[in-house]
Amino acid sequence: MNNFFQQTKWYIKENDGFTALDSSYEILDFENRRTILGKARQESCVGHKILKMFFDNIFLPFKICVEDSSGCSKLLIKREGSAFIWPIEIFDGEGKKICAFKQSFLCLKKRIEVLDSSANLIGEIISEDWAAKKLAYFDKKEGKVGTIKHFLKGVSREMFTASDDWVVEFTGQKPEMVPVLLAGAIVVDMLYHEA
């Protein structure tokens, strides 16, 4: 039995590739970083790859499939539109919409609103710094229930690669928020760190 959503702390490692035309991630157990809990990969067509050479992800549609280590679908993250005003929808492994993320540009810090399937505000992901390398997830009812932090891999890897690693920690009481937090970490990387 894969304990994909039963963890409270994950290490998300973005894979280095020859080109940055597709994003892929390994989702690892934080304590034992050799234990792969799952993988996430971006699915894109040739036309999208050509557009990505000229535009950042913040302006393009994308679709990311998250699977556990046995290959079972756990999450689908997608944005249909081609501008930053389109919401990013999150679906579970069975295709049921869990929530949507909507970027907010009303403050200097990065902010993503989390909406339920009926478009009601249920939480926010807010950066604690200007570079969006340390973020917190605030549930509307519980308050702060998780953190998403950039993991510094070393000077040479930071300077010569575009990949980012993240530590995601869930501190809340509602386990149904775990998929939202994990999807939030991947969305933060796609929007703010895939330039």
Please check the confidence at residue 195 and state whether its pLDDT lies above 70.
no
Residue 1 in any domain: the answer is no
Residue 95 in any domain: the answer is yes
pLDDT of residue 26: 93
Residue 41 in any domain: the answer is yes
> Which residue range(s) make up the domain with 32?
9-192
> pTM for the complete prediction?
0.88
Burial 93-126 (b: 16+ CB within 10 A, else e): beeeebbbbbbeeeeeebbbbbbeeeeeebbbbb
Residue 113 is given by DSSP the state E
Segment 19-63, tens digit of pLDDT: 556 778 999 999 988 888 999 998 877 777 777 777 776 677 889
Residue 2 in any domain: the answer is no
Segment 84-122, tens digit of pLDDT: 678 999 999 999 999 999 988 666 778 999 999 999 999
pLDDT of residue 19: 56
Q: How many domains does the chain have?
A: 1
Mean pLDDT of the chain, nearest integer: 85
Distance CA 174, CA 85 (A): 29
- Which is more confident, 91 or 15? 91
CATH of the domain at 136: 2.40.160.200
Residue 3 in any domain: the answer is no
